[in-house]
Amino acid sequence: MEKRVYIETYGCQMNEHDTERMLRLLEGAHYLETKNAQEADFILVNTCSVREKPEHKVYSALGRYKWLKEKKGAIIGVAGCVAQQEGDRLLDRIPYLDMVIGTHAIPMLPQLLQKIEASGERFCETTFDPEGIYLKTILPQEPLHRVKSYVTIMQGCDHFCSFCIVPYVRGREKSRPSGEILEEVKCLAEMGVKEVCLLGQNVNGYGRGSEGELSFAELLERINEIGGIERIRFTTSHPKDLSEKLIQTFSNLKKLCEHIHLPFQSGSDRILKAMHRGYTKEAYLEKIDCLRNICPSIAVTSDVIVGFPGEEEKDFGETLELLRKVRFDDLFSFKYSARKGTRAARFKDKVEEDMKQDRLSVLQEIQKEITLHKNQELEGRVEEVLIEGRSKQSDQEVTGRTRSNKIVNFEGDLSLAGKLVPVRITKASPHSLRGEMLGSEFASSPQYLACRSS
């Protein structure tokens, strides 16, 4: 008999994708997804512990589902980074929790679920798997009806930035065999997926430590040859490992979209050193110059942390200076959050919470203006847009993204989902663009063909 699973997901794209992989596995065990927790026989909270705030959300989410355990006997589980970090402690702390499943244990999910169903026992599985079997392809069994999809190409991280919990909860850096990745992308293409986004904590390091494996640039070249796939993206890149060969791919590979997410974290060399990032502000700026020389239309987004231990006004000023120099298309900005077990958690000179908040507000105000200006530069231009579905704002509108990853809403028919269309940008706002779709005759005009490869 078919049962229902509800998964609540916190955190990054990696977690979103893990949720998808778990849903595919559970489908094979006759658990189908529901978007309504009250209907579910199994409720799983997929967690993030990169900062304190998402970590705390886990406990309140579990609190919300306690009554479903009591009333309906639903099985309750925790997956992801908090599960990996806390392990058995979660079972001790939350008496109605049935399952704790760590980041490397995803393939074991159906068996664990069956064991709980059969015995009523509670389980915690957080063993790390150095062979990387947990990364094995879980191909979709049903057509996805989706325009774009994530593909994990590697897991874990060996960088040990002093603020970051990832290496402790995701394990050592491990690349998936390229053969498996290519097989997955081909399968997605056959199911109608047009855009793939390759995922890893540091995709530039792809293949490191796996003898005879393709480099990341070579992997991109191979994916570029797969029929049906129209667009390729990747995230995240580490500035330290961004090679010239990889930068060159932005001009060589037609399907590779002109966007890079390149976190800088701080504009102060003193703070970058304490963060153990492995580059200086100058080296970061050189990479940006190189990217823009090779691909002038590239959009650059980034991550920054304010209030790292020891950050003084002068350091923060240098971060603002870098912001104004680079003029990022968009920026994810965070207040430093001490993570137990990381080196920075033991650093003295903590920055007061009020000070962190003030700095964050100043930085976000500056970036808001830059983002709006960047978007306004597109007004009047024709952009290639991949239509993804109906827009949230109106039933008469569709939504999609430019190659530079900006959201565009415009009048159009939902039957066009999955099509690449020319759209003239008519109005920019800080978070999205409005546009008008141009006729099919425009799609073959030299002007449009030039914009597609500019």
- The answer to the question of residue 287 lying near ligand SAM (CB under 6 A) is no
Site for ligand SAM contains 166 (CB under 6 A): yes
305 binds, among ligand SF4, ligand SAM, none (CB under 5 to 8 A by kind): ligand SAM
Site string for ligand SAM, 9-48 (x = CB under 6 A): ---x------------------------------------
Q: For ligand SAM, which is the closer residue by CB, 4 or 238? A: 238
What's the rounded Cα separation, in Å, for the pair 410 and 429?
A: 14
Q: Give least dist CB 170 to ligand SF4, A.
A: 8
In the complex with ligand SF4, the residue whose CB is nearer, 279 or 328, is: 279
201 binds ligand SAM per the rule CB under 6 A: yes
Task: Choose the one of ligand SAM, ligand SF4, none that binds residue 412, judging by a C-beta under 5 to 8 angstroms depending on kind.
Answer: none
> Of ligand SF4, ligand SAM, none, which one sits near residue 167, judging by CB under 5 to 8 A according to partner kind?
ligand SF4
164 near ligand SAM (CB under 6 A): yes
Q: Which is nearer to ligand SAM, 12 or 288 (CB)?
A: 12
Query: Is position 265 an interface residue for ligand SAM (rule: CB under 6 A)?
Result: yes
Residue type, 207: G
Q: Which does 108 bind (CB under 5 to 8 A by kind): ligand SF4, ligand SAM, none?
A: none
SS (H, E, C) 314-370: HHHHHHHHHHHHHCCCEEEEEECCCCCCCCHHHCCCCCCHHHHHHHHHHHHHHHHHH
Dihedral sign of CA atoms 384, 386, 387, 393 in order? negative
Binding of ligand SAM by 356 (CB under 6 A): no
Site membership for ligand SAM, residue 288 (CB under 6 A): no
Distance CA 83, CA 85 (A): 6
Smaller CB distance to ligand SAM: residue 331 or 425? 331
Binding of ligand SAM at residue 303 (CB under 6 A)?
Answer: yes
334 contacts which partner out of ligand SF4, ligand SAM, none, CB within 5 to 8 A by kind? Answer: ligand SAM
Considering the complex, what minimum distance in angstroms separates the CB of residue 293 from ligand SF4?
Answer: 25
Q: Of 100 and 164, which has the nearer Cβ to ligand SF4?
A: 164
* Nearer residue to ligand SAM within complex by CB, 303 or 358: 303
Quote the Cα angle for 13-15-16, to 5°. Answer: 60
12 contact choice in ligand SF4, ligand SAM, none (CB below 5 to 8 Å, kind-dependent)? ligand SAM
32 pairs with which residues across the strands?
Answer: 4
- Straight-line distance from the first to the last Cα atom of the chain, in angstroms, rounded to the nearest whole number: 54
Residue placing its CB nearer to ligand SAM in the complex, 276 or 390: 276
- Give yes or no for residue 202 binding ligand SAM (CB under 6 A): yes
Which partner in ligand SAM, ligand SF4, none is near 160 (CB below 5 to 8 A by kind)?
Answer: ligand SF4
Q: How far is the CB of 342 from ligand SAM (least distance, A)?
A: 7
User: Which range of residues in 54-62, 160-168, 361-369, 417-425 is near ligand SAM by CB under 6 A?
Assistant: 160-168
Would you count residue 181 as binding ligand SAM (CB under 6 A)?
A: no
Give the Å distances, CA to CA, from 106 to 24, 47, 338, 386: 11, 13, 27, 32
- Is there binding between residue 236 and ligand SAM (CB under 6 A)? yes
Q: Which amino acid is at 82?
A: V
Instruction: Indicate the residue type of 63.
Output: G
Q: Which chain residues interact with ligand SF4 by CB under 6 A?
A: 157, 159-161, 164, 166-167, 201-202, 238
Q: Which stretch binds ligand SAM (CB under 6 A): 103-111, 215-223, 332-340, 388-396?
A: 332-340
User: Please, what is the minimum distance in Å from the beta carbon of residue 344 to ligand SF4?
Assistant: 11
**Nearest distance in Å: CB 165, ligand SF4:** 8
How many angstroms separate the CA atoms of 407 and 423, rounded?
12
Q: Residue 220 or residue 272: which is nearer to ligand SF4 going by CB?
A: 272
Q: Where do contacts with ligand SAM occur on this chain (CB under 6 A)? A: 12, 50-51, 163-164, 166, 201-202, 236, 238, 263, 265, 303, 305, 334, 336-337, 339
